[in-house]
Chain A
Amino acid sequence: MTTAYPVAKAETDRQEAEVAFAAFIRRLIQDASTLQAIDSGEVDAIIDPVSGRAILLPEARAALRQGAAPTNQMLATLSHEEYQRLLAAGLEPVTLAVGDILHEPGELIQQIYFPNAGLLVSLLTTVQNHMAFEIGLVGSEGMVGLPVAQGIDTASVRAVVQGAGTALRMESSRFREALETSPVLQRTLHRYTHALIAQITQTAACNRFHQVEARLARWLLMASDRLQSNPLRFTHEGLADLLGVRRVGITVAATALQQQKLIQYRRGNITILDRAGLEASACECYQKIKDTFDRA
């Protein structure tokens, strides 16, 4: 039987096969909005009408190959046995959508979350019960509900999902019990606590001293590191709330970054065009926070 789609003969043919695959997709699909979805990385598989087979795109294939293995970096430090023990104790996968609130200030933290790659959670501090701005970002490098590890049940910040994806979650009481018997997880949590405090401290200084344009550049880089996607989908209003500035401030800053050809902003889609240039435009805080996490 002949197949209508290109197949790599060996790893050495990989690049050639990928080019052939991309050309094949374009021959199959004429519709502009579908091509746009493919170009923005929003498609997992293509069905070949000739063979009637579904063909996974490379990113989806890589994600599925990892199987049930978590992409959370803290859980990845655990041995297979320790990870299995956490699963047996109630660690479970969950899918989260943009806008989901994981906890509010003053509330009991019912569940802790280990985000997998692609999930982005903002930690927001609230002022006068309605104004909120971001003091920390959590992705697959971290955990939401850190106070539980320190024996504190109540949240001091709001945790809200900014980028949809999956996480592994566990009831707080069960997590605390599991933590007592896992020195590896304790050490990982100590290092993460240090890095998160450094991030929060740096963000506090950044919010006070740096211009909106540099802060926006810093935030986009941090979000892109954690979301691992391009474009990013955020509105001016959303970004203004996160950075604690007026919407017009974000519009001016985003326009300036766009004029320098560092980003492209189109209907809520922000594409980073020049990462090195954006890093140069960001305040020093981006690199400082990144270094702390790399060392931790």
Chain B
Amino acid sequence: MRRQQIAKSSDPSAVAAVRVMRLYIVGGAPNSVQALANLERICQQHLKGNYQLEIVDVFEQPLRALADGVIVTPSLIKLSPLPATHIVGNLSDQHKVLVALGL
């Protein structure tokens, strides 16, 4: 099995900055599973290892989610580079995710 190749971002500086992200999920829940798969694919194709991703299960750490202003899962937060951005849902709209990540 392999991931399909798609067009990469045309702006090389967009890839240079390390993206620090936090994904809030519920382990095993369908949208969370999809969000993780979609995000992994996007990272593989557009960030080439140039990112840090922390995955937080809100059943284990709900207060961390609230501290980040997260009230629903799955939610992805880009912490760095600033400005911080926030996207909700299963991340199947790749364009929306790329915009939120500043790519």
Chain A residues in contact with chain B, CB under 8 A?
Answer: 28-29, 33-34, 37-38, 40-47, 49, 52-54, 56, 59-60, 63-64, 94-103, 110-111, 118, 160, 164-166, 233, 268
Are A166 and B29 interface neighbours, CB within 8 A?
no
Are B71 and A29 interface neighbours, CB within 8 A?
yes
For chain B, the bracket of interface size reads: 35 or more
Are A46 and B72 interface neighbours, CB within 8 A?
yes
Chain B residues in contact with chain A, CB under 8 A?
Answer: 1-4, 6, 25-26, 28-34, 36-38, 40-41, 58-59, 62-63, 65-66, 70-74, 88-90, 92-93
Contacts of B28 in A (CB 8 A): 63-64
- Of chain A, the residue at the smallest CB distance from B1 is A102
Contacts of B73 in A (CB 8 A): 43-45, 47, 54
Are B6 and A44 interface neighbours, CB within 8 A?
no
Are A111 and B1 interface neighbours, CB within 8 A?
yes
Give chain A's interface secondary structure class: mixed
Are A97 and B30 interface neighbours, CB within 8 A?
no
A102 to B4, CA, bound (A): 10
Are B3 and A42 interface neighbours, CB within 8 A?
no
With A54-B62, A160-B4 in contact, is A37–B40 under 8 Å at CB?
no
With A97-B3, A97-B37, A100-B1 in contact, is A44–B71 under 8 Å at CB?
no
Contacts of A33 in B (CB 8 A): 88
- Of chain B, the residue at the smallest CB distance from A118 is B30
Least Cβ–Cβ distance between A32 and chain B, in angstroms: 11
Least Cβ–Cβ distance between A89 and chain B, in angstroms: 19
Contacts of A47 in B (CB 8 A): 58, 62, 65-66, 70-73
Contacts of B33 in A (CB 8 A): 95, 165-166
- Of chain B, the residue at the smallest CB distance from A41 is B31
Least Cβ–Cβ distance between B76 and chain A, in angstroms: 11
- Of chain A, the residue at the smallest CB distance from B27 is A64
Contacts of A64 in B (CB 8 A): 26, 28-29
Contacts of A166 in B (CB 8 A): 33
For A41, A42, A44, A110, the residue with the greatest tally of chain B CB atoms inside 10 Å of its CB is A44
Are B89 and A101 interface neighbours, CB within 8 A?
no
Taking A45-B58, A95-B37, A97-B3 as known contacts, 19 extra A-B pairs with beta carbons closer than 8 A to each other, sorted by chain A number, are A34-B88, A40-B89, A42-B90, A42-B92, A43-B31, A44-B25, A44-B29, A44-B30, A44-B74, A45-B72, A47-B65, A49-B71, A54-B73, A96-B37, A98-B41, A100-B2, A111-B1, A165-B30, A165-B34
Least Cβ–Cβ distance between B86 and chain A, in angstroms: 9
Contacts of A101 in B (CB 8 A): 1-4
The answer, among B4, B34, B70, for a CB contact under 8 Å with A100, is B4
Query: 27 A-B Cβ contacts within 8 A?
Result: A28-B71, A34-B88, A42-B88, A43-B31, A43-B73, A43-B74, A43-B89, A44-B32, A45-B72, A45-B73, A47-B70, A47-B73, A52-B63, A53-B62, A59-B30, A60-B30, A64-B28, A94-B1, A96-B37, A97-B38, A98-B38, A98-B92, A100-B41, A102-B1, A118-B30, A164-B34, A164-B92
A268 to B30, CA, bound (A): 21
Are A37 and B70 interface neighbours, CB within 8 A?
no
Contacts of A45 in B (CB 8 A): 26, 29, 58-59, 72-73
For B6, B31, B74, B92, the residue with the greatest tally of chain A CB atoms inside 10 Å of its CB is B31
- Of chain A, the residue at the smallest CB distance from B59 is A54
Contacts of B2 in A (CB 8 A): 100-101
Contacts of A103 in B (CB 8 A): 1
